[in-house]
């Protein structure tokens, strides 16, 4: 069944017309990575301590949950190349991917939920569930009741970075999604040595390129200032380019492009 679900997600990303930039018809996202985490994984209990008690466990979202299905949608090379050239605002292609590409991601969530239900299983996409909410003030800054990044980490899809992103085998430039189901699936092993291993700064004290890429000054070697980042991503950037680009949300992603982890796990430097 794991292979069936992997093939289902991959075919939807490959074939659905919603995964296309208008005009040049290039995809928003390349072939996805898919992983599975047990709903009973102790990490989901730890997340209530690490993120906050407001962070929902899989069973709180879906009673009887057995598995969290998580995926990584790598942003296409064409879009990443346009964003590499920017210094202040995201490129048009990046902004459209953040806006319309995320709408496609939600379509993928609904598609997988519907398929699982057709097979006789219960399923829910946490990001689309009525109880999902963003919390502006927590001890760790802005957070939400379900973190797609932390679900992906639990499913063995990557580790965290200096800028709080998730560095996967396909890099840090991506969108993430997940669905919880009562179908029992084999968990994907977590093979990294620790939860920040894929980041060169945390692995060996080198790189830090994302710091210089941040136009808002939200990054330093001490980490990621979520408040500064949010003000830029949801305030300054949309005010500057959203109307010209014809989107509601622009994202930013400068710290995810023109960096060593853009499209891969960077190799250690001697």
Q: What is the pLDDT of residue 137?
A: 78
pTM to 2 decimal places = 0.95
Say if CB 132 and CB 144 are below 8 A apart.
Answer: yes
Q: Which long-range contacts (CB under 8 A, 24 or more apart) does 208-211 make?
A: 208/162, 209/258, 209/259, 209/260, 210/161, 210/162, 210/163, 210/255, 210/256, 210/259, 211/162, 211/255
Q: What is the pLDDT of residue 128?
A: 96
Q: How far is CA 110 from CA 27, 125, 128, 129, 177, in A?
A: 19, 7, 9, 11, 11
Scanning the chain, the segments in alpha helix (DSSP H) are 2-15, 43-50, 58-61, 77-84, 92-96, 102-118, 148-154, 200-204, 209-213, 226-231, 237-245
For residue 236, count other CB atoms closer than 10 A to its CB.
16
Which DSSP state fits 57? P
Nearest to 167 by CA among 178, 177, 153, 154: 153
Can you tell me the distance from the alpha carbon of 106 to that of 56, in angstroms, rounded to the nearest whole number? Answer: 19
Can you tell me the distance from the alpha carbon of 212 to that of 80, in angstroms, rounded to the nearest whole number? Answer: 17
Q: Where are the domains of the chain?
A: 2-256
Q: What is the pLDDT of residue 270?
A: 65
Can you tell me the distance from the alpha carbon of 12 to that of 68, in angstroms, rounded to the nearest whole number? Answer: 19
Which residue has 């977590």 as its token pair? 190
Q: What is the pLDDT of residue 131?
A: 87
Nearest to 218 by CA among 176, 168, 249, 254: 254
pLDDT digits (tens, 9 = 90+) for 241-268: 999 999 999 999 999 999 999 999 999 8
Q: For residue 267, is it left (φ>0), alpha (ψ between -120 and 50) or beta?
A: beta
Exposed / middle / buried, residue 198 (Cβ in 10 Å: 0-12, 13-18, 19+):
buried
Residues of the chain with pLDDT under 70: 23-24, 270
């Amino acid at each position: 069944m794991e292979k069936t679900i992997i093939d289902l997600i991959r075919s939807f990303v490959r074939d659905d017309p919603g995964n296309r930039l208008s005009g040049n018809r290039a995809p928003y996202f390349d072939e996805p990575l898919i992983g599975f985490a047990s709903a009973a994984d102790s990490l989901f209990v730890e997340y209530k301590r690490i993120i906050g008690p407001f962070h929902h466990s899989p069973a709180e979202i879906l009673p009887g949950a057995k598995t969290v299905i998580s995926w990584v949608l790598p942003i296409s090379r064409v879009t990443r190349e346009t964003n590499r050239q920017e210094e202040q605002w995201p490129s048009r292609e990046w902004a459209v991917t953040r806006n319309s590409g995320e709408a496609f991601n939600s379509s993928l969530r609904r598609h997988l939920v519907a398929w699982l239900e057709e097979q006789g299983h219960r399923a829910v996409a946490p990001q689309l569930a009525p109880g999902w909410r963003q919390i502006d003030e927590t001890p760790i800054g802005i957070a939400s009741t379900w973190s797609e990044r932390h679900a992906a980490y639990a499913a063995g899809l990557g580790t965290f970075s200096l800028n709080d992103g998730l560095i996967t085998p396909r890099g840090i430039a991506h969108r993430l999604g997940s669905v919880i189901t009562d179908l029992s699936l084999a968990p994907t092993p977590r093979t990294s040595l620790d939860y920040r291993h894929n980041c060169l700064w945390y692995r060996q004290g080198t790189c830090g390129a994302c710091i210089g890429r941040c136009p808002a000054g939200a990054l330093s070697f001490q980490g990621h200032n979520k408040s500064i980042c949010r003000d830029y991503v949801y305030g300054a950037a949309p005010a500057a380019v959203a109307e010209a680009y014809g989107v509601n949300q622009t994202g930013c992603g400068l710290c995810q492009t023109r960096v060593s982890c853009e499209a891969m796990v960077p190799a250690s430097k001697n």
